[in-house]
Amino acid sequence: MTNQNLYAVLEKNFPKDRSKVCLYLPDGSTCSYEELDQKAAQVANLLKNKGVKKGDRVAMQTGKCPTSVFLYLGCLRAGAAFLPLNTAYTDKELAYFFDNAQPAVIVCVPDRADGIASVIEFEPKPEILTLTVNEDSHDVGSLPEAMLAQPTSFETEVLTNDDLACILYTSGTTGRSKGAMISHANLSTNAQALHDIWHWSNDDHLIHALPVFHVHGLFVALNTMLIAGASCHFLNKFDPNEVLDLMARSTVMMGVPTFYTRLMAEDRLTAEQTASMRLFISGSAPMLEETHAQFTKKTGHRILERYGMTEAGMITSNPYEGDRIPGTVGFALPDVSVRVADTQGNELPHCEVGILEITGPNVFLGYWEMPEKTAEEFRPDGYFITGDMATSDDKGRISIVGRGKDLIISGGYNVYPKEIELCLDDMEGVLETAVIGLPHPDFGEGVAAVVVPLPNSKGSFTEADVMAHAKKDLASFKVPKRIYIIDQLPRNTMGKVQKNIMRDQYKEAFS
Ligand code: MCA
Ligand code: AMP
């Protein structure tokens, strides 16, 4: 049987000469493919020695550093399910994920270890390992320390297509997060498809400035770079000036629309500065047609916009050759089928607006421990209901025209209003709240909350109090950047809160 382990698939495509650099790091140091393989082996050996078995969860909440990549690859090699978590999550948010996924091992930065230990309520208690980067840019902590004693070779676990590779949490319209179970084949087929349609080669050099705890930075960027045997500048965070410097030595960049709007504010973004680049890719949130046009005007490059989601990786892409049409997200990836359907799942004629449904090797296995949620989001014929409103033209080109789900996308991060509303509703003196997304020049959408006090609590709290309450429990990117305290929410005759009226009323909030 061919080993379907994603690591085995990636490894087959590693360069013959493994001394080739894979990661170029901000301090000028590098990591070769040989080193990557050995460090991933050390992680896998360590996990096995700690009794981690196939399918056991290994959670990571750390900053971006080479060891975070070794940990990801080591989990794949050992057959453990990697569970990356946004560094902004608070202890309260983590408590939910840990309780739900019950990881065997948690890797975190040292100053979060006590807080994390205090929220663990399940047995057996997970082992907590630490990882951070010191002032000399070295990865330190109990994880890198323990890796040192481990052998540098490891026989990668033989797995089948449907074996679990990762769990990524995605919030839901009910406010309750769901762990999307992603298989080895979901990832390898998606990486191979992106490699092919975006014409990757081992000469490519990627600018990697995305976080590695979401699909975009972890799978779309890293897996595709690795399956090509290519290399990347592995940056801790997005800094437009650093990225502009690197463009002279790179060929591909991937980013959320905020990366592009921030780059465009720089005078150094010119055709000369980007001359060696062959491909700029955008996704995770809609890019304004105006951003596409201005970027082309400044650089001569046409940004390639693609569309995807946690549950399915990449779904559609504008073509590498041929028209890249702003406002559209292109065609279904090879082997992926898409249809625009009515609320019953019946396919609609071209150009009619409906919900996008998809099927293919990229579609996830289901939600962790939530079979009823999984069933709700699949049609009997196997199509997954994305919740995105779309149209399809007669050639199959897809445009995302809105969201059927109540979702805000801020700088590429998803924020589900219900989760924020539940948090604010808990505040003393609050009767009810409505959370909305408003146009934001930097983040695309910014989070705002409309708050109604109880009749006897009017004047008892301020906008700043509401923000402080939210900050206690919610990741910072979810905290509303504007608060409006009003007497009552607008409702229609059926009593339903009319968010569209509030979105219109406060639309200038961030302009
Ligand atoms: C940071 N802040 C934000 C965001 N990022 N607020 C709203 N939305 C955000 N995205 C807040 C911080 O909490 C902080 O608030 C203040 O802004 C400044 O923080 P800082 O860290 O300096 O921000 P930054 O470094 O400039 O980050 C902005 C960013 C980053 C570079 C746009 O958010 C980012 O890397 N976004 C990419 C997200 C991504 O990878 N998405 C892919 C998901 P305070 O001062 O109050 O603390 S995968 C996906 O969606 C699907 C599958 C797909 O299709 O790809
Ligand atoms: P997530 O749940 O974090 O995986 O986010 C996936 C969601 O991001 C999708 O369901 C879409 O709503 C949105 N999205 C991703 N890429 C695009 C894009 N190019 N245009 C519009 N929306 C996008």
Residue with token string 């975009």: 216
**Cα–Cα distance, 170 to 310 (Å, whole number):** 7
Contact between 449 and 484 (Cβ < 8 Å): yes
Phi, psi torsion values for 417, nearest 5 degrees:
-50, -40
The structural domains of the chain, ordered by start, are 6-237 (3.40.50.12780), 325-405 (2.30.38.10), 408-505 (3.30.300.30)
> Residues 152, 155, 158, 163: what is their CA dihedral angle, to the nearest 10 degrees?
-20
Contact 365, 224 (CB under 8 A): no
In whole angstroms, what is the distance from residue 384 CA to residue 338 CA? 9
Tell me: cis bond preceding 124? Omega within 30 of 0 counts. Answer: yes
Q: Is the CB of 258 under 6 A from ligand 1?
A: yes
Distance 95 CA to ligand 2 centre (A): 26
Q: Tokens 């270890």: give the residue.
A: 113
Mapped onto helix, strand or coil, the DSSP state of residue 343 is coil
Q: How far is the CA of 267 from the centre of ligand 2 (A)?
A: 29
Question: Which residue lies with its CA nearest to atom 52 of ligand 1?
Answer: 309
What is the pLDDT tens value at each position of the chain, 511 positions in all?
Answer: 799 999 999 999 999 999 999 999 999 999 999 999 999 999 999 999 999 999 999 999 999 999 999 999 999 999 999 999 999 999 999 999 999 999 999 999 999 999 999 999 999 999 999 999 999 999 999 999 999 999 999 999 999 999 999 999 997 777 789 999 999 999 999 999 999 999 999 999 999 999 999 999 999 999 999 999 999 999 999 999 999 999 999 999 999 999 999 999 999 999 999 999 999 999 999 999 999 999 999 999 999 999 999 999 999 999 999 999 999 999 999 999 999 999 999 999 999 999 999 999 999 999 999 999 999 999 999 999 999 999 999 999 999 999 888 899 999 999 999 999 999 999 999 999 999 999 999 999 999 999 999 999 999 999 999 999 999 999 999 999 999 999 999 999 999 999 999 999 999 999 9
- Residue 171 has a pLDDT of 79
* Ligand 1 centroid, distance to 7 Cα (angstroms): 29
CB 225 within 8 A of CB 204: yes
Residue 172's pLDDT is 72
Alpha helices in 265-410 (DSSP H): 289-299, 371-376
Report the interhelical angle of 417-425 vs 463-473 (nearest 10°).
Answer: 110
- The Å distance, Cα 75 to ligand 2 centre, comes to 27
- pLDDT for residue 136: 93
Residue in the block written with tokens 């080109």: 397
Residues 6 or more apart in contact with residue 473 via CB below 8 angstroms: 90, 92, 93, 423
pLDDT of residue 265: 97
Alpha helices in 307-406 (DSSP H): 371-376
Relative to beta strand 132-133, strand 354-359 is unpaired
Please state, in angstroms and rounded to a whole number, the distance separating the CA atoms of residues 66 and 123: 31
Tokens of 92: 């309260």
Q: Please name every residue paired with 132 in a beta bridge, in sequence order, or none if there are none.
A: 140
Q: How many residues does the chain have?
A: 511
The per-residue pLDDT for 405 is 84
Instruction: Determine the atom of ligand 1 nearest the C-alpha atom of 238.
Output: 31
Which residues are near ligand 2 (CB < 6 Å)? 170, 215, 283-286, 305, 307-310, 329, 386, 388, 400, 403, 409, 414
Cα separation, 499 vs 508, in Å, equals 15
Mutate to test the pocket of ligand 1, among 239, 258, 435 (most ligand atoms within 8 A of CB): 258
C-alpha neighbours within 13 Å on the C-beta side of residue 109? 17
Ligand 1 contact via 284 beta carbon (within 6 Å): yes
- In angstroms, the CA 22 to CA 34 distance is 9
CA 306 to ligand 2 center in whole angstroms: 9
What does the DSSP 8-state code read for residue 186? H
Contact (CB, 8 A) for 155 and 37: no
Distance CA 23, CA 17 (A): 15
Q: Which ligand 1 atom is the nearest neighbour of the CA of 471?
A: 46
| Owner of token pair 């304004």 | 288
What's the token pair of residue 389?
């409103």
Contact at 8 Å (CB) between 468 and 486? no
pLDDT of residue 43: 99
Whose CA is closest to 475, among 406, 423, 435?
Answer: 423
Task: Let me know: does 345 contact 377? Beta carbons within 8 Å.
Answer: no
Distance 312 CA to ligand 1 centre (A): 22
CA distance 105 to 71: 11
Long-range own/partner contacts, residues 123-127 (CB < 8 A, 24 or more apart): 126/59, 126/98, 126/102, 127/50
| Residue spans of beta strands (DSSP E) within 45-177 | 57-61, 81-84, 105-108, 127-130, 132-133, 139-140, 164-170
Task: Determine whether 439 is exposed, middle or buried from the number of CB atoms within 10 Å of its CB (0-12, 13-18, 19+).
Answer: middle
Helix extents (H) in 300-433: 371-376, 417-425
Q: How far apart are CA 156 and CA 153, in angstroms?
A: 9
| Closest ligand by atom to 255 CA | 1
Burial class, 344, CB count within 10 angstroms (exposed 0-12 / middle 13-18 / buried 19+):
exposed
Whole-model pTM: value is: 0.97
N-to-C CA span, the chain:
58
Q: Is 66 in the pocket of ligand 1 (CB under 6 A)?
A: no
DSSP E strand stretches across 78-202: 81-84, 105-108, 127-130, 132-133, 139-140, 164-170, 178-183
Whole-number pLDDT of residue 215: 98
Q: What residue type is assigned to position 419 of the chain? A: E
